[in-house]
Amino acid sequence: MDRLVVRGENPLSGTIPISGAKNAALPLMAASLLTQEPLTLRNTPDLADITILGELLSEHGTEIALRKQDGVRMLRLSTPAITSAVAPYELVARMRASFLVLGPLLARHGEARVSLPGGDAIGHRPVDLHLKGFEAMGATIFLDQGYINARATNGLKGAEIRFSTVSVGATENLMMAAALADGETVLENAAREPEIGDLARCLITMGALIEGAGTDTIRIKGVAKLHGAEHEVLPDRIEAGTYALAVAAAGGDVVLTHTNPEAIEALLELLGKAGAQIDRTPDSLRIRRDPGHRLKGVDAMTAPFPGFATDLQAQFMACMTTASGASMISETIFENRFMHVPELMRMGANINLHGGTALVRGVDILKGAPVMATDVRASVSLIIAGLSAQGETSVSKVYHLDRGYERIETKLTACGADIRRIRD
Ligand code: EPZ
């Protein structure tokens, strides 16, 4: 199993190109099931999760071809026919976003048998909102042997669906299903994340009739068929936020390119308050923090978009461990998203947990140590801590990291970080 070894205290300087968004590419790939014509996705990131979803889509009959055009990865997905409606446990368990095939299979094929994804390190991750929505659209759903069996033999019907909790995945799953339903579907209390807007733009290019994506009410008028399209995956706002926090933690001066600063406004506001200098253009972001000027502790609370993203909480905490003063960090989205805390404490961080809130008291310096990754964002928070720590930090189980970050050691090394991958 690979591990990454970081020797800290090198300020970062240079340029980091941001890749296509993992959390946009995954639903976009699932959308390819909605049509028998090819869907080509430009700027798909080279990540383990993308590969796993590709394996699952092939089970359903999707032919996948990857090519590079002027250095940009082009993924062509074509599903002339659905050859199997079963999404097997061994694939869904490895990558829970596989559950996003349920809506497209129901809409295109009238039935689906998808393994319940199960929980993971950050929470038990229920899918009740997805299932309630499909039932409202006329599907019959029953659970057996850990599989969700869904059937809509006479096709899905448009419905009024109000989510009791804001859910990115449920919004995406139901928006895709509604695109081919009979009649209009209204999704209320819908998620507003930029990835939802990106999926809607792609579906509209395929012929879907969607209004309101990016707001909390989305209207979808079902159509009989969708056609193929070509779509560019939007830049990964979580990758951008992660590297912005790495610079704030390690100190230095880095420009992030191919990005969209307005997608991480909430984070940039926190970083500004903490004392980092931020300069932006529509597609780039410059972050500076003079190593001689310590960050100030700033409180943060995660929330659905446009609030502070839960996927940046662990990285923000790593940054706050050596700030002056204290930072109170509340995690409101997931019930167990503090797995990085004991690992940061092994490096000398001073953190107290009270339910969903962590009180971080800044220490002068972290000390490098062997630590363990548990999920994609916790693992990158340990890399950020290692970049600012004294000595060497070895992060094991980096397969978690490789699920969400393309070529992280290459991008950081290019900015002066001392980081290397060890194959054990
Ligand atoms: C998406 O997960 C992202 N994954 C997550 O990123 C992200 O943390 C999350 O949205 C929140 O922004 C992808 O896009 C592939 P949710 P998702 O449904 O859709 C509860 C990463 O690190 N809920 O918005 O699974 C749920 O338990 C990953 O890249 C229900 O109760 O998240 C959670 O408390 C981690 N019932 C809250 O809603 C449901 O049916 C938000 O979950 C669905 C969700």
Q: Please report where in the chains the tokens 């299932």 appear, as a residue.
A: 131
Residue 312 sits in the same domain as residue 225: no
321 Cβ below 6 A of ligand 1: no
Specify the CATH number for the domain of residue 122.
3.65.10.10
272 Cβ below 6 A of ligand 1: no
Closest CA to 369 of 402, 346, 345, 342: 346
What is the pLDDT at residue 117?
87
* Distance from Cα 210 to the centre of ligand 1, integer Å: 22
What is the pLDDT at residue 103?
98
Compute the average pLDDT of residues 179-200.
98
Residue 154 sits in the same domain as residue 94: yes
Residue 116 sits in the same domain as residue 247: no
Residue with CA at minimum distance from ligand 1 atom 43: 127
Give the angle 338-340-346 at the CA atoms, nearest 5°.
125
Residue 382 sits in the same domain as residue 257: yes
What is the pLDDT at residue 120?
78
Quote the number of domains for the chain: 2
Model confidence at 167: pLDDT above 90: yes
Model confidence at 311: pLDDT above 90: yes
Query: pLDDT by residue (tens digit) across 348-383?
Result: 999 999 999 999 999 999 999 999 999 999 999 999
Report the b/e string of 24-50 with b at 16+ CB within 10 A. Answer: bbbbbbbbbbbbbbbbbbebbbebbbb
Residue 274 sits in the same domain as residue 217: no
Residue with CA at minimum distance from ligand 1 atom 38: 167
Amino acid at 109: H
**How far are the Cα atoms of 203, 219, 415 from residue 199, in angstroms, in the given order?**
6, 14, 33
Compute the average pLDDT of residues 261-286.
98
Residue 293 sits in the same domain as residue 221: no
* Distance from Cα 333 to the centre of ligand 1, integer Å: 8
Contact assessment for residue 39 and residue 228, using Cβ atoms and an 8 Å cutoff: yes
Contact assessment for residue 86 and residue 43, using Cβ atoms and an 8 Å cutoff: no
What is the pLDDT at residue 424?
79
pTM confidence score: 0.98
Domain ends where: 209, 232, 255? 232
Residue 145 sits in the same domain as residue 289: no
What's the domain range around 122? 22-232
Give the angle 130-105-67 at the CA atoms, nearest 5°.
110
The rounded mean pLDDT for the chain is 97
What is the pLDDT at residue 378?
95
Compute the average pLDDT of residues 387-397.
97
Domain ends where: 210, 232, 254? 232
Domain ends where: 189, 216, 232? 232
Query: pLDDT by residue (tens digit) across 13-48?
Result: 999 999 999 999 999 999 999 999 999 999 999 999
For residues 157 and 183, what is the distance between their CA atoms, to the nearest angstrom?
6
Query: Atom of ligand 1 at shortest distance to CA of 168?
Result: 24
Residue 7 sits in the same domain as residue 110: no
Q: At what angle do helices 102-109 and 168-178 cross, to 10 degrees?
A: 10
Using a 10 angstrom Cβ sphere, with 0-12 exposed, 13-18 middle and 19 or more buried, the burial of residue 410 is: exposed
Compute the average pLDDT of residues 301-315.
98
Model confidence at 118: pLDDT above 90: no
Sheet holding 277-281, edge to edge: 12-17, 252-257, 284-289, 277-281
Residues 6+ apart with CB under 8 A from 215: 190, 192
Q: Are strands 392-396 and 2-7 parallel, antiparallel or unpaired?
A: antiparallel
Q: Are strands 284-289 and 72-78 parallel, antiparallel or unpaired?
A: unpaired
Residue 179 sits in the same domain as residue 78: yes
What is the pLDDT at residue 43?
97
Model confidence at 119: pLDDT above 80: no
311 Cβ below 6 A of ligand 1: yes
Query: Atom of ligand 1 at shortest distance to CA of 404?
Result: 29
For residues 209 and 52, what is the distance between their CA atoms, to the nearest angstrom?
30
What is the pLDDT at residue 124?
84
* Distance from Cα 99 to the centre of ligand 1, integer Å: 12
Model confidence at 121: pLDDT above 90: no
Residue 165 sits in the same domain as residue 240: no
For residues 198 and 368, what is the distance between their CA atoms, to the nearest angstrom?
39
Q: What percent of the chain has pLDDT over 70?
A: 100
116 Cβ below 6 A of ligand 1: no
What is the pLDDT at residue 28?
98
Residue 47 sits in the same domain as residue 140: yes
Residue 361 sits in the same domain as residue 415: yes
